[in-house]
Structure 1
């Protein structure tokens, strides 16, 4: 691919904005978001002692992963972190049978996987020097 860096930036842009946006809009209202998440997770088998700290960490993790993807810093690690985060969210959504949320989380996961696959395929192609 002739201009991989530019192409790769534009294909990772939507997921980077999605993750950063999820995190950044929640940061100013962190206590309210935490209270909402604890309420949502009431039917879960997960203890509140795990949900509360996670509800404070989640927006920060989303914002950081999104911003790292946006600026292109440590892309592979950022993609792996995004996949781990989505897996945790999917587990939580399963625990309360929130199947609608799982669809969105799976879509994010497939997008992150696609970026990882695309990047690794490009790394395998020998560069042409003329």
Structure 2
């Protein structure tokens, strides 16, 4: 019974993290030019070149949306969590350049949740990854 609760807890946390990232990316994608302009303004006083901020401002919403969606549905879950954690570290670095120390707290909360999910990855039974693995195992056993 306890293992079942752990699997449900994993699912709830995985979906919450994934939805947070997916919606962050989706909202930003819906107003991409405005988001990029905001980023350029936030980083104009930093040593980061405009081309880098512009490129990251274009790529970030796509990454957030795609990585978040993979996490929600549980496809390539471990890889998506690692990609998501890496993306959050880049965001933390950007927050330091912009001297936006309060941003780091929010990124750290996501990162703690992602690390917890990575640590308990064997509980990911409610996922497409689990279905693919079990379907493949059944087919091999039936040969």
Sort the TM-score into its range (normalised by shorter chain). 0.7 to 0.9
Measure, in 2, the Cα distance between the counterparts of 1:4 and 1:75: 17
Which structure has the larger Rg?
2
Q: Deviations over 1:1-32 (max 9, x none)?
A: 13655442212111111100100011111001
Runs in 1 of length 4+ with deviation above 2 angstroms? 2-8
CA RMSD of aligned residues (A): 1.6
Q: TM-score, normalised by structure 1?
A: 0.87
Q: Which runs of 5+ in 1 are unaligned?
A: 124-130
How far does residue 51 in structure 1 lie from its aligned partner after superposition? 0.6
- Are 1:44 and 2:46 matched, yes or no? yes
Measure, in 2, the Cα distance between the counterparts of 1:3 and 1:107: 22
Question: Which of 97, 104, 128 is the equivalent residue of 2:106?
Answer: 104
Measure, in 2, the Cα distance between the counterparts of 1:2 and 1:52: 45
Aligned equivalent of 2:68? 66
Equivalent residues, number: 122
Aligned equivalent of 2:127? none
Q: Which runs of 5+ in 2 are unaligned?
A: 125-143
